[in-house]
Amino acid sequence: MLAAKLQESLGQPVVVENKPGANGNVASEYVARATPDGHTLALIADSQVVINPHLYKKMPLDTLRDLAPVSTVAANQFVLAINPSLPAKTFPEFIEYAKKAKPPLTYASGGNGSQHHLTMEMLKRRAGIELLHVPYKGGSPATMATVSGETAAMWAGSSNAAQIKAGRLRALAVSGEKRSAQYPDLPTISEFYPGFHNSIWLAIFAPAATPEPVLARLREELKRALESSDTKEKLNNAGGLEPFFLAGPEFSALIQRDYEKYGKVVKEVGVKLD
């Protein structure tokens, strides 16, 4: 979607090249090592910048030093979902049920160190509950495990809306600072634990030495693209994403805040990836 918008406004082809691997480190390194002329950019998730450096013993780049923040482009919330066989119908009921469960309830995640994993660890500490982590290789297997009852709970992305709508998962609360437009009846965790919020953001980065005038032009065009009348609908259809534009000092502050937040959680949990 952004490629098409930028191609139109910049008057030149914009090619999307997927570079999967190592939780996004392959793509991040590729862009960090590219010529800093504004022609090679990365659309990457926050986890690649603020979580991976705490997880991996050896990083191929310094995400805070080797990448230049252009702007955020979208954000998404997590939804706390449980298997419908559990007696809990609300978030407070789930917390009380989890406190009493012997043995502890299990929860699924998309893998060790994933945001699903770390968000649940944050909730465990805040609510004073014990849950057993069961990591899977991706969000889809984790979802299927919770739907089947193999695990009791999970933090789900908005892409699981179909499972929730069909009653195969029971949604209890969302993780953002405010209620979700997709789930307006669900409370935020912060309504029970003030200050608790954890959302995903996606952003554009460039190689660190990219000239400021080039970055400024890119920010201008990205802001225009996100303000386009059809953008919100397209992002919503792509898994419940919302347009989210942040640039300059505000974006840098967000990166630093999340870098420190996740660093603390990773250290407390003790998870490391090779």
CATH number for position 242: 3.40.190.150
Express each pLDDT in 9-33 by its tens digit.
999 999 999 999 988 999 999 999 9
CA 218 to chain centroid, in Å, comes to 23
CA 206 to each of CA 50, 53, 128, 172, 222: distance values in angstroms, whole numbers, following the listed order: 16, 18, 41, 38, 13
* 155/176 same-domain check: yes
Helix (H, G, I), strand (E, B) or coil at 154: strand
Q: Where residue 165 sits, what CATH number does that domain have?
A: 3.40.190.10
Name the residue among 140, 156, 142 with its Cα closest to residue 81. 156
Evaluate whether residue 68 is within a structural domain: no
For residue 40, what pLDDT band results from cuts at 50, 70 and 90?
Answer: very high
* 233/179 same-domain check: no
The residue-averaged pLDDT of 62-88 equals: 96
Determine contact, residues 177/93, Cβ cutoff 8 Å: no
pLDDT at 15: 96
* 222/134 same-domain check: no
* 55/115 same-domain check: no
Evaluate whether residue 215 is within a structural domain: yes
Express each pLDDT in 192-249 by its tens digit.
999 999 999 999 999 999 999 999 999 999 999 999 989 988 888 777 788 999 999 9
What's the rounded Cα separation, in Å, for the pair 161 and 140? 13
The residue-averaged pLDDT of 180-188 equals: 91
* 118/215 same-domain check: no
Evaluate whether residue 112 is within a structural domain: yes
Would you mind telling me the total number of residues written for the chain in this entry? 274
pTM of the model: 0.90
pLDDT at 161: 83
Q: Does 159 have pLDDT greater than 90?
A: no
Give φ, ψ of 243 to 5 degrees.
Answer: -60, 135
Q: Of 171, 191, 211, which residue is a domain's last?
A: 191
Express each pLDDT in 99-147 by its tens digit.
999 999 999 999 999 999 999 999 999 999 999 999 998 889 999 999 9
* 213/112 same-domain check: no
Helix (H, G, I), strand (E, B) or coil at 167: coil
Evaluate whether residue 74 is within a structural domain: no
Which tokens go with 192?
């029970």
* 134/169 same-domain check: yes
Express each pLDDT in 249-262 by its tens digit.
999 999 999 999 99
* 44/85 same-domain check: no
pLDDT at 156: 84
Mean pLDDT of the chain: 94
Q: Of 152, 168, 191, which residue is a domain's last?
A: 191
User: What residue ranges in the chain does DSSP mark as E strands?
Assistant: 42-45, 67-77, 79-82, 105-109, 131-135, 153-156, 170-174, 199-207, 242-243
For residue 172, what pLDDT band results from cuts at 50, 70 and 90?
Answer: very high
Of the chain, the percentage scoring pLDDT greater than 70 comes to 99
pLDDT at 28: 97
What's the rounded Cα separation, in Å, for the pair 159 and 171? 13
* 187/85 same-domain check: yes
Determine contact, residues 69/147, Cβ cutoff 8 Å: no
pLDDT at 163: 93
Contacts of 174 (CB under 8 A, 6+ apart): 77, 78, 79, 80, 180, 183, 186, 187, 188, 189
* 235/134 same-domain check: no
Which stretch of DSSP H or E encloses residue 142? helix 139-148
Instruction: State the first-to-last Cα distance of the chain, in angstroms, to the nearest integer.
Output: 34
Which tokens go with 239?
């898994």
Evaluate whether residue 18 is within a structural domain: no
Q: Of 139, 165, 191, which residue is a domain's last?
A: 191
* 262/180 same-domain check: no
Evaluate whether residue 264 is within a structural domain: yes
What's the rounded Cα separation, in Å, for the pair 30 and 207? 9
For residue 273, what pLDDT band results from cuts at 50, 70 and 90?
Answer: confident
Domain that holds residue 56: 2-6+25-62+198-268
* 233/187 same-domain check: no
Evaluate whether residue 158 is within a structural domain: yes
What's the rounded Cα separation, in Å, for the pair 187 and 13? 43
* The total number of structural domains that make up the chain: 2
Question: Which comes out higher in pLDDT, residue 157 or 208?
Answer: 208
Evaluate whether residue 159 is within a structural domain: yes
